[in-house]
Structure 1
Amino acid sequence: MTFRKFVQIGRVVFLNYGRFKGKLAAIVDVIDGNRALIDGPCTGVPRQPFKFSEMYLTKYLLKLQRSQRSKGVREEWEKKQISQRFAASKWQKNIEKHEVRITMTDYDRYKLGRAKQSRNKIIKDAFRRIKKKSMKAKDTRLKAKAAKKATKKKAKTEQ
């Protein structure tokens, strides 16, 4: 299957536009091909229609009935621990990383660049040492193999 996440009742969405940008909500009902009724009682998002183009579907799914009340949505949300699971997800970590990068000053970016340079130098030196060591080991194996062949050849000629 190509798609893993579908627009369906109970799908948790990440809002990417408007007043509630960056918050999570659940789809409570599908209005038409462009909009859904969402509700986020645990994140402070009131029940309202929202365009599909203004939300991202997440992998989290709640077992909800069509047009279920906010109380039921809240209970299922807390039972599945959606807020905690999303906070521990890679998606949230990337959002936090992006926010840190936005707030960086020129000097912070300079320091980050220098730190990356020194890290890359350490990695390159370690790689060269390992490569050199493996090349020496390879050379000794080849020499041992050649010596073994020579002794076999010598033994054949003596017979």
Structure 2
Amino acid sequence: SPSICQQYVASLLSPVRAKRRDAIILHYMDAVLVCASTDSKLQHTLDLAVKVLTSAGFQLQEDKVQRMPPWKYLDLEIAKLEINCNPKTLAALHSFCGSLNWVRPWLGLTNEDLDPLFNLLKGERELASPRELTPEAKTVIKKVHKALSERQAH
């Protein structure tokens, strides 16, 4: 079950998170994102996370490890200084907002910070219905860009 998988991986990564409080480790199912403020902190945290997961029997696919931007995590594409997002439909906006919900706490953003984006989900319910970013929503995306640019990720 997905929730059991989430809990199990969280329990495995918990000691790494405790040891490396200066880094961020996000996971969802088989996707793990490791962020830190310097390359050396990042490499150390990544090494610890990989060791813990492989010791528990998980297999790391080296070709899936992303060391250069842009990094892809869930439906986000994280570039060195930006997140590439300009959702044109309700479906794309829904996916983007869902992904932001996962990383929001680690970026120091609140639900209220993201409200201008979430408000765009209201209205027409057809997934293909067009959406256009408001000036307020564009400001939110800039805030997300800033938070992401202060992190390094693999």
If the length of structure 1 is used for normalisation, what is the TM-score? 0.26
If the length of structure 2 is used for normalisation, what is the TM-score? 0.26
Greater relative CO (CA pairs within 8 A, separation 6+):
2
Q: Where is the strand percentage greater, Structure 1 or Structure 2?
A: 1
